[in-house]
Amino acid sequence: MKSSLITAFALMLLIEGALPFIAPARWRELFKKAVLLEDGQIRFIGLSSMLIGLILLLVFYD
């Protein structure tokens, strides 16, 4: 269980770090736009991400 959590965290860091590494100017533009979003919009994005992650876990985890 512990190694699975560490693996998941490591993969998250790899994915999250890819855009700033590959295209820092584009990442900066996206971050500026994200700052302008309302709280409800940010919550919807977070909820959507969590639901997609949960669905992927349920579909692909045995």
pLDDT in tens, 14-43: 999 999 999 999 999 999 999 999 999 999
pLDDT of residue 62 exceeding 80, the answer is no
More confident residue, 1 or 41: 41
Distance of CA 16 to the CA centre of its chain: 6
pLDDT of residue 4 exceeding 90, the answer is no
